[in-house]
């Protein structure tokens, strides 16, 4: 059977109301608005309320994506949810989301690919749609990183925020089409441990000692991640353009993982792509891991930046290590 053409028919996003500004952080650790702004570009980020779980954020983003796609929850064949901050170790956060949506005809699964969660989910959804194993697939990436942030570590606490991005993927007759996806991982080198949350899994179950050592919180080696990000993201862009047989400048918009403005400036320079055509909203939300690409994509669609027929590239790097891209004709 020939593979079917699959596209994105609706997007949605959600960020919690509560904000953490750079001034708020300067009251918690030895930092300043000036340092955070010049080193990262971030001005503020969002924080989920104590009772707000990852699936609650995912639900809000999903409702918006379903509405945009004119799709009801019971039409969904599959839910694929990227997160590194799940509601519980199990059941999957996708199952909690399924219940909130009452998507009673869908399979539900999580994907753990850190900041690449949205693109890894999209890649899997495209395969399900192309083969005919599913028709309508909801992809979501949602994170509540602020619940796992060490607010005594100035090197990481200034970066993270919460949010969710979603999209409906399905076979389509109109011009929109996911043309290409690419994903890789490096779990084998020493660099794989440059972003970790050590405690709470089978290797290190919860313990008082781990809590005292703050091993239940995120640890990153920022500088190492920075170098990896610049090299891998610029390769992703050049390789994605080459697979379409076009120069990188033919890509109308790049929607990147929103980690750090300086990383994106470095990537743009190395890839030979104008930084003005990166869709950037990290100043408002910080790094919301896998959610960031989904949120930025939804904002770019809703504010009219992305228009019909545009060539759009999503790209990300993250913990694992992972890196991934998706090229879409809008």
Question: What are the DSSP calls for 94-146, one per residue?
Answer: HHHHHHHHT-TT-EEEEE--GGGHHHHHHHHHHHHHHHTS-S-EEEEEEEEGG
Closer residue to ligand ACO (CB): 133 or 152: 152
Is 257 labeled as catalytic in the residue annotation?
A: yes
Per-residue interface string for the shown chain with ligand ACO, residues 114-153, x marking contact by CB under 6 A: xx--------------------------------------
Per-residue interface string for the shown chain with ligand ACO, residues 157-176, x marking contact by CB under 6 A: -xx-----------------
| Count of residues of this chain found to bind ligand ACO when the rule CB under 6 A is applied | 23
Question: What are the DSSP calls for 247-295, one per residue?
Answer: -GGG-SEEEE--S-HHHHHHHHHHHT--GGGB---HHHH-B-TTHHHHH
Name the active-site residue from 95, 116, 157, 257: 257
Name the active-site residue from 71, 115, 157, 315: 115
Contacts of 183 (CB under 8 A, 6+ apart): 113, 116, 119, 120, 123, 322, 323, 324, 325
Stretch that binds ligand ACO, among 33-41, 97-105, 175-183, 248-256 (CB under 6 A): 33-41
The dihedral over CA atoms of 172, 299, 281, 313, expressed in degrees to the nearest 10, equals 20
For the chain, the distance separating the N- and C-terminal CA atoms, rounded to the nearest angstrom, is 25
Is 115 labeled as catalytic in the residue annotation?
A: yes
Please, are residues 258 and 221 in contact by the beta-carbon 8 Å criterion? Answer: no
Binder to ligand ACO among 49, 99, 223, 243 (CB under 6 A)? 223
Least distance between ligand ACO and beta carbon 261 (Å):
9
Q: Residue 321's Cα: distance from chain center in Å?
A: 14
Least distance between ligand ACO and beta carbon 317 (Å):
8
Q: Does 113 bind ligand ACO (CB under 6 A)?
A: no
Binding site for ligand ACO (CB under 6 A): 31, 35-36, 39-40, 114-115, 154-155, 158-159, 195, 220, 222-223, 225-226, 259-260, 287, 289, 318-319
Active site residues: 115, 257, 287
């Amino acid at each position: 059977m020939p593979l079917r053409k699959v596209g994105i028919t609706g997007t949605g996003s959600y960020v919690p109301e509560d904000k953490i500004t750079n001034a708020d952080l300067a009251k918690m650790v030895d930092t300043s608005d000036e340092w955070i702004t010049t080193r990262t570009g971030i001005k503020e980020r969002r924080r989920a309320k104590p009772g707000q779980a990852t699936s609650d954020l995912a639900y809000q983003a999903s409702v918006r994506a379903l509405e945009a796609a004119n799709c009801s929850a019971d039409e969904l064949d599959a839910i694929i949810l990227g997160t590194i901050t799940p509601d519980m170790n199990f059941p999957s956060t996708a199952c909690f989301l399924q219940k909130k949506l009452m998507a009673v005809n869908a399979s539900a699964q999580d994907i753990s690919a850190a900041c690449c969660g949205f693109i890894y989910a999209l890649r899997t959804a495209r395969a399900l749609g192309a083969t005919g194993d599913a028709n309508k697939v909801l992809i979501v990436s949602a994170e509540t990183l602020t619940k796992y942030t060490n607010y005594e570590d100035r090197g990481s606490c200034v970066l993270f925020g919460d949010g969710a991005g979603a999209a409906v993927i399905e076979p389509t007759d109109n011009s929109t089409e996911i043309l290409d996806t690419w994903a890789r991982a490096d779990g084998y080198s020493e660099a794989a441990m440059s972003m970790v949350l050590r405690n709470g899994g089978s290797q290190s179950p919860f313990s008082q000692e781990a809590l005292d050592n703050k091993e239940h919180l995120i640890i990153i080696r920022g500088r190492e991640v920075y170098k990896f990000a610049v090299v891998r993201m610029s390769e992703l862009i050049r390789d994605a353009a080459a697979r379409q047989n076009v120069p990188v400048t033919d890509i109308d918009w790049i929607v990147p993982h929103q980690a750090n403005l300086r990383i994106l400036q470095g990537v743009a320079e190395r890839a030979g792509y104008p930084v003005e055509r990166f869709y950037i909203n990290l100043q408002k939300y910080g790094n919301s891991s896998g959610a960031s690409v989904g949120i930025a994509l939804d904002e770019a669609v809703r504010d009219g930046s992305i228009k019909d027929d545009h060539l759009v590239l999503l790209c990300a790097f993250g913990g694992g290590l992972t890196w991934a891209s998706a090229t879409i004709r809008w």
